[in-house]
Structure 1
Amino acid sequence: MATGILTDDAAEQIVATCRTAIGDSLRSVTYFTRDDFEQVYLREDLERDADLSTFIGHEWRGFKTTQTAYEGSELGGYDYTIRVFENGFLIRVTNDSEGVFATTDGLTVKDFEEVATALDTFLSERELD
């Protein structure tokens, strides 16, 4: 299913990347740009009732704010964000023009690092196209 902002192949690649790193703990995957978004995966036991436009606005602003706030600090460059909630986690990997966030059940820090690295590679390769 082409989304208008992603080809079928790109959407499938994002989902496969997340499923490989996260497995059955993957809840959802959303690709976004500054102007648009598409939920490319939602686990079948979940409702399609999240206000994604609000999530995207917050995640985009959050990326820009975090990137600016820590720029030049001894911590180094921004890599990714993990948010912890009562019923799961959200990982956001973003660059200057696009991003992906995935929601999950419980994961280890190593699992988050794996998926963040894989998604960053995906986004970097898209920039080169």
Structure 2
Amino acid sequence: MTADLVDPETADHIVRTCRTAIGDSLRSVTYFTRDDFEQLYLRSDLEQDADLSTFIGHEWRGFQLTEDTYAGSELGDYSYTIRVFDGGYLVRLTTDREGVLVTTDGISMQDFEALASAIGSVLR
């Protein structure tokens, strides 16, 4: 993991965008590229022991596989991924060059859509 993979102003903008979209349900925010990642935010009540390098590798490969698998389907272009776990949710929004992983507590589908839209506008 490289510190300052993303400039501080952009990192702050990404975190503020997530906080605005989902409020106190935000658990963590990680910015990543194909080769590296930087955790931008971790809520203070959470442990810092997650193996992010494994998560990022899986999510990058998952993005590529999903995009390739569904390309040209009647479903349309890939937008984002939601993963559901016992203790929360993971949202992955990825472009060809970069991505953001956001973990949350329980939120509504409308909140997921608002979050994905907001992060998508930052990545564009």
Per-residue CA shift, 1:79-124, capped at 9, x if unaligned? 0000000000000000000000100000100000001001111000
For residue 103 of structure 1, give the secondary structure of its aligned residue in structure 2: strand
Instruction: Determine the C-alpha separation between the residues in 2 that align with 1:4 and 1:11.
Output: 9
Q: Does residue 1:105 correspond to 2:88, yes or no? A: no
For residue 46 of structure 1, give the secondary structure of its aligned residue in structure 2: coil
Aligned-residue identity in percent: 64
Question: Structure 2 regions of 5+ residues with no counterpart?
Answer: none
Q: Which amino acid aligns with 1:70?
A: Y
Give TM-score scaled by structure 1 length.
Answer: 0.93
For residue 47 of structure 1, give the secondary structure of its aligned residue in structure 2: coil
Q: CA deviation at 1:23?
A: 0.4
Aligned to 1:116: 116
How many residue pairs match? The answer is: 123
Question: Equivalent residues in 2 for 1:84-99 (5 A)?
Answer: 84-99=84-99
Instruction: Determine the C-alpha separation between the residues in 1 that align with 2:16 and 2:3.
Output: 17
Give TM-score scaled by structure 2 length.
Answer: 0.97
For residue 39 of structure 2, give the secondary structure of its aligned residue in structure 1: strand
Q: Does residue 1:38 correspond to 2:47, yes or no? A: no
Q: Which runs of 4+ in 1 moved over 2 A?
A: none
Instruction: Determine the C-alpha separation between the residues in 1 that align with 2:100 and 2:48.
Output: 18
Instruction: Determine the C-alpha separation between the residues in 2 that align with 1:17 and 1:48.
Output: 22
Give the root-mean-square deviation of aligned CA atoms.
1.0
For residue 82 of structure 2, give the secondary structure of its aligned residue in structure 1: strand
Per-residue CA shift, 1:34-70, capped at 9, x if unaligned? 1110000000000000000000000000000000000
Instruction: Determine the C-alpha separation between the residues in 2 that align with 1:110 and 1:3.
Output: 33
Q: CA deviation at 1:5?
A: 1.2
